[in-house]
Structures are given as structure tokens and as C-alpha cells.
Amino acid sequence: MKIAVFSAQPYDRRFLDDALARRQAGGALALQYFTEPLSLQSVALAQGCGAVCVFVNDALDAGVLAALAAQGVRAVLLRCAGYNNVDLAAAARLGLFVARVPAYSPEAVAEFTLALVLTLNRHTHRAYARVREGNFALDGLLGSNLHGKTVGLIGLGKIGLAAARIFHGFGCRVLGYDPAPPAGFRALGQAAQLPALLAASDIVSLHCPLLPATHHLLDAAALARMKPGAMLVNTSRGGLLDTGAVIDALKSRHLGALAIDVYEQESELFFHDHSADIISDDVFQRLLTFPNVLVTGHQGFFTTEALREIAETTFDNLECHRAGKPCANACLAT
Ligand code: NAI
């Protein structure tokens, strides 16, 4: 069987090739790599393939899924946890198997969240640049201790819980909001309703999925509820934030700092080198002008351990499907 791998980067190729080599001698699977994202324009590349392997910014709407099914594709293998980019109802109607990698490394994203918080709080990114220019002045680099601060986690799944363990270890008071809080959270923090969490937290970090119910979860009204001067961190999905409202909150100085690893319109930008291009997204460019905003390009997951796990689980999911066995990682329409 041939598998069309879309949005393939050199590191995807390396880890998928390694995983495939480890598990098959006979060559029953062949990977075809395409740097293009999957869309209606690129869907024909999957001609002759039994499966496609895709990532966060590939668009699997009803039209693309219908075109895939018409070409004989039977399985959609997500190399990520989130599946907000797949029309699951359409996939079910077309009889397509869709599976994801639910937990490739919660610690990778939770630790990256910490990296963002510590960088913004202690200005290590600015200190790095200053020192290289021979400027050892400390003015402008003043931070505050994390110890004793209140951290509000929105979403207490695998990543939220890993973040709770880390913040707890730093001596923070941890609040968590989740419609279904896991029992394991009780030893680390206190469950709270969203308005109370927003009002009490010095740092608010998002770890819930992007769903119709969570789109723009942090809009102008929610941002207004946040403690003045608080820090907001989003390593989950860009659509959880109303970016326009976030910019207003930064301009009014109500929001003290922002770190984002994800952005609602990121598919136009992220995972590619645009250093020689003129970026036409004025909202994104405005974000980059704030000294108290840190933006990274969806790299929270990007560790060796996570990429290895993504590759292994991707092939496990396909094997499950081919053997006709129930797959715990299948994404089902609700
Ligand atoms: P998970 O499925 O283990 O946990 C999600 C949690 O969010 C669940 O406990 C669920 O009950 C909760 N939740 C659902 N609706 C909610 C709401 N309205 N408010 C608060 N909580 C709500 O997912 P996991 O593995 O912890 O991942 C969380 C998100 O992180 C993913 O959906 C994905 O969008 C993002 N992610 C980002 C990565 C990156 O590289 N930056 C990498 C991997 C995931």
C-alpha cells in the first residue's frame, strides 16, 4: 500500500522512514512525501494511495475527503492529537478511517509552556541579544518569582495535567478548569469555574481542544475578567483566542504579557521559511511589535521523543485498520 504524506518536512521523513524500517522487512508499505499541504488543489497527489498521512494545517473538509475517497483512499492518518481540521461527519459518511496520535508526548508541550512562561517572565530572549551586543545593563529585564504565583490551567487532559505537575513543582498555586476534571488533578491543584480562574490567575494557560464550543473561548469579555497585568499562554490551538480582542487588551495594558505557539491563521505562515517574504497578515505583524509578546511557530510538540512516538503510533493505527481491529485512536463523529 502507498501512503501519501502531506506537509512533509525533513524531520517527518526521517522519523517515519526510521519507524517503517524498524517494523517491516518486506516493503508492504511505501511512503510518498509531499511538502504541499493537503487541499483541493493538491488532493490529486494522493492518486493510487490507500492512505494519506496529514498534520495540523492540512484541510480535510468534506470536499477534500470526497475527492480522497473517490481516488481510492481509505484511511486518514493524523500525525497530531487535534482533529479540528477534519470533517469527521463527512469522513464517516464516506467510510473513511480516521485516526490520530492522542498522546505523543504531553510533557513536550507542557515543558514548552514552561519555557515560554520563564522566557517572558525573566526576559531571557532579550538578555541573550543584549549580552551578545556587549550590553550588560539589567534595566528592563526585571521579572518576578514563579513561586507563590497562581496559575490557571484551562483543560486538564494529558498536557494540562503535565503542566499542573510542573507548576506545582515550582511552588505555584494551581487552579484548573475542565468540564471533566481528572481525579489526578486533586493532588496538584484546585478545580475552579472559568470566571473564577480568570479572575484569580497571574498566568492563564490554555490546554483544551479547539471545538465549536471553545472557539474564541478567550474573547473580549473573558479577557476583561482576567487579573490586570496577567500573562496569557496558548500552546493549544490558535482559534481559542480572539486575536483582535487580545491585541486590544495588550494595547490597553490590561493583559500584561502574551505567549503563543499557535495562531488562528497559522496555516498561511507556520512550518515554512518566510524570512524573505512580505507577510501580509497585519494582525500577526501587529502582535510581533509588542515587547511583551512571544510568538513561536507551533513547536511545542517538537522533541525527538514526540516525533518517534508520532511515527510509531501512525503505523500502529494503520496496522489496526488493515487488520480490521478496533482502533483506540480512531476519531469518530459525535
Ligand atoms: P486531551 O484530550 O488529553 O485533553 C483535553 C482536555 O480539555 C480534556 O480533559 C477535556 O475535558 C478538556 N476540555 C474540553 N472542553 C473544554 C473546555 N471548554 N474548557 C476546558 N477544558 C475543556 O488533550 P491533550 O493531549 O492534553 O491536548 C490538548 C490540546 O493541546 C490539543 O487539543 C491540541 O489542540 C493541543 N496540542 C498542541 C501541540 C503543540 O505542538 N503546540 C501539540 C499537541 C497538542
- Is 184 domain-assigned? yes
Cα(23) to centroid of ligand 1, in Å? 30
Say whether both 21 and 169 belong to one domain: no
Ligand 1 atom 27 nearest Cα: 159
- Is 328 domain-assigned? no
Ligand 1 atom 31 nearest Cα: 209
Cα(136) to centroid of ligand 1, in Å? 40
Say whether both 163 and 270 belong to one domain: yes
Say whether both 77 and 115 belong to one domain: no
Residue linked to cell 459518511: 93
Query: Which atom of ligand 1 has the smallest separation from the CA of 104?
Result: 43
Say whether both 99 and 110 belong to one domain: no
Distance, in Å, from the CA atom of 127 to the CA atom of 140, rounded to the nearest integer, reads 9
Q: Which residue type does 81 have?
A: A
pLDDT of residue 85: 94
pLDDT of residue 206: 98
Say whether both 281 and 255 belong to one domain: yes
Q: Which of 11, 85, 159, 197 to mutate to test the pocket of ligand 1 (most atoms within 8 A of CB)?
A: 159
pLDDT of residue 213: 96
Query: Which atom of ligand 1 has the smallest separation from the CA of 217?
Result: 18
Please, what is the end-to-end C-alpha distance for the chain in angstroms?
Answer: 30
- Is 249 domain-assigned? yes
Say whether both 90 and 142 belong to one domain: no
Closest CA to 29 of 39, 38, 19: 19
Say whether both 186 and 65 belong to one domain: no
List residues with catalytic annotation. Answer: 237, 266, 298
- Is 331 domain-assigned? no
Query: Which atom of ligand 1 has the smallest separation from the CA of 209?
Result: 32
Distance, in Å, from the CA atom of 31 to the CA atom of 33, rounded to the nearest integer, reads 6
Domain that holds residue 134: 106-295
Cα(208) to centroid of ligand 1, in Å? 3
Residue linked to cell 525573566: 122
Say whether both 122 and 179 belong to one domain: yes
- Is 329 domain-assigned? no
CATH of the domain at 13: 3.40.50.720
pLDDT of residue 291: 95
Ligand 1 atom 21 nearest Cα: 155
pLDDT of residue 86: 97
pLDDT of residue 26: 57
Say whether both 135 and 85 belong to one domain: no
Structural domain count, the chain: 2
Distance, in Å, from the CA atom of 88 to the CA atom of 186, rounded to the nearest integer, reads 34
In the chain (334 residues long), the average pLDDT of successive 10-residue segments reads 97 96 82 97 97 95 98 97 94 98 94 98 97 98 98 98 98 98 96 98 97 97 98 98 98 98 94 95 98 97 96 96 95 90
Cα(132) to centroid of ligand 1, in Å? 38
Binding-site residues, ligand 1, Cβ < 6 A: 81-82, 103, 106, 109, 154-160, 177-180, 207-210, 213-214, 235-237, 261-262, 298, 300-301
Cα(159) to centroid of ligand 1, in Å? 7
Say whether both 112 and 75 belong to one domain: no
Say whether both 179 and 30 belong to one domain: no
- Is 165 domain-assigned? yes
Say whether both 142 and 24 belong to one domain: no
pLDDT tens digits, residue range 12-31?
999 999 999 998 765 789 99
- Is 333 domain-assigned? no
